[in-house]
Chain A
């Protein structure tokens, strides 16, 4: 890979006819990467010494999560959109696998607290389900496909320097602030009007994990079959 002109023909594979292009010499990004890594660690240490260990932990988890998201190109939007658009369900299956793993993890954390008689963490997220959930999910789906990413995807791509999604981020913040400001009204008039279900209350702890994993497995199989069916029908 030099900076001299290079024809695509020399790269084998697909023959590209006429084009000759000059390539910029690539900068070695590894020193920058090491610098960024050291900076993240340093900020983590400073945070733990000045603000507290929790904030430092949030900082590290956030950085790691962003790194994994970027490298893996994990995209919740694509997982919901591509089955319809292209028939590809690889990301759908990846998301379902992640759900299965977190199901076990969260059940372990919650059950651990439960057996020791501690308050179960994260119970404030067990919220009522109703038609409002489905309507909200549908609206969120439209929004994330137009914006080109869900919350985490948008953040990750802003970090990559993708200009258009800085706009998404701005309105994502505007929308979140508006939503937070009016949340009380929505909660009072729509959200509380539904049953809130905590699966272990219904099926017991083991049952809840089994039921949830079973549903995820069914969805996984459906996604797999969907991809195959789509490809077969495209072949005609």
Chain B
């Protein structure tokens, strides 16, 4: 059973959300899902871009005005 991790990056300016995601993903298994909550518009761009470049599955959901959840499924 794959697990789901939530990562609270509210109020963190980039690159902090990206580093946090990187660290969190390192400790996860393939198939696990990381949900990163961010409210920094710049991180909303560079976190998904980085994760896609790494080859993970990525989805972005705007949960509220200016608040996003980046959903990353670890692939490798």
Contacts and interface: CB of A to CB of B under 8 A. Distances in A.
B13 A164 contact: yes
- Interface band, chain A: 35 or more
A148 B33 CA distance: 27
Interface string B10-23: 01111110110000
Contacts of A19: 4
Contacts of B45: 73
A75 B42 contact: yes
Given A16-B33, A163-B11, A21 B63 contact: yes
A8 to B, nearest CB: 8
A14 B65 contact: no
Interface in B27-76: 33, 35, 39-42, 44-46, 49-50, 53-54, 57, 59, 61, 63-66, 71, 73
A164 B11 contact: yes
Contact of A160 (B41, B54, B57): B41
Given A160-B66, A165-B13, A86 B35 contact: no
A41 B50 CA distance: 39
Given A14-B33, A14-B71, A16-B33, A73 B13 contact: no
Interface stretch (A22-30, A108-116, A217-225): A22-30
Interface in A55-110: 70, 73, 75, 78, 81-82, 85-88, 90
A88 B41 contact: no
Given A13-B59, A73-B42, A149 B13 contact: yes
A20 interface: no
Contacts of B49: 86, 88, 90
Contacts of A161: 66
B43 to A, nearest CB: 9
B46 A14 contact: no
Contact of B46 (A13, A29, A86, A163): A86
Contacts of A78: 14-15, 42, 46
B68 to A, nearest CB: 13
B4 A73 contact: no
Contacts of A162: 13, 39-41
Q: Give the top 10 A-B pairs by smallest Cβ distance, nearest first.
A: A148-B13, A86-B50, A14-B73, A73-B45, A13-B59, A17-B4, A14-B71, A14-B59, A14-B57, A75-B42
Interface of B: 2, 4, 11-16, 18-19, 33, 35, 39-42, 44-46, 49-50, 53-54, 57, 59, 61, 63-66, 71, 73
23 contacts: A14-B33, A14-B59, A14-B73, A16-B35, A17-B4, A70-B41, A82-B15, A85-B19, A86-B49, A86-B50, A147-B13, A148-B16, A148-B42, A149-B13, A153-B42, A157-B13, A157-B41, A162-B13, A162-B41, A163-B11, A164-B11, A164-B12, A164-B13
